[in-house]
């Protein structure tokens, strides 16, 4: 009888330990995901909904240049690595172009935040 009680106690302890481990793992995962979401949200917070924003440097600090309507925009005196936030709705994207007028563009970039060297870029093209 004592052997059965010891076995039952060990089983209960194992289950409790596994439950605690699972709860800890869930909290750690949730905290990591919340940290990533917070960083993404803070970068998008300064960029109005429906806009693409180019910040003055590689951080979400400062007042960004904002672009709203589809089409091309020529960039002037925009150099170095910058934070670009695509906060457009409906999955709209943008392209970085080496020529003025939205010509010679690179790959389409969807919603999100990007760190890009804009030294060789002369225009940005917003598209649906």
Query: SS3 letters for 22-49?
Result: HHHHHHHHHHHHHHHHHHHHHHHHCCCC
Q: Would you tell me how many other CB atoms lie within 10 Å of the CB of residue 126? A: 20
Q: Are strands 65-67 and 71-74 parallel, antiparallel or unpaired?
A: unpaired
CA distance 107 to 101: 16
User: Per-residue pLDDT tens for 69-114?
Assistant: 999 999 999 999 999 999 999 999 999 999 999 999 999 999 999 9
Average pLDDT, the chain: 80
pTM above threshold 0.75 = no
Q: Which of 116, 90, 112 is nearest to 36 (CA)?
A: 112
């Amino acid at each position: 009888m004592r052997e059965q009680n010891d076995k039952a106690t060990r089983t209960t302890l194992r289950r409790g330990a596994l439950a605690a481990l699972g709860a800890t793992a869930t909290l750690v995962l949730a905290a990591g995901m919340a940290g990533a979401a917070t960083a993404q949200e803070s970068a998008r917070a300064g960029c109005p909904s429906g806009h693409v924003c180019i910040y003055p440097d590689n951080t979400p600090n400062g007042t960004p240049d904002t672009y709203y309507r589809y089409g091309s925009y020529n960039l002037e005196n925009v150099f170095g690595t910058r934070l670009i936030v695509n906060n457009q709705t409906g999955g709209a994207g943008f392209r970085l172009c080496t020529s003025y007028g939205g010509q010679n563009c690179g790959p389409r970039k969807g919603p999100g935040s990007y760190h890009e060297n804009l030294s060789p870029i002369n225009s940005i093209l917003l598209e649906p």
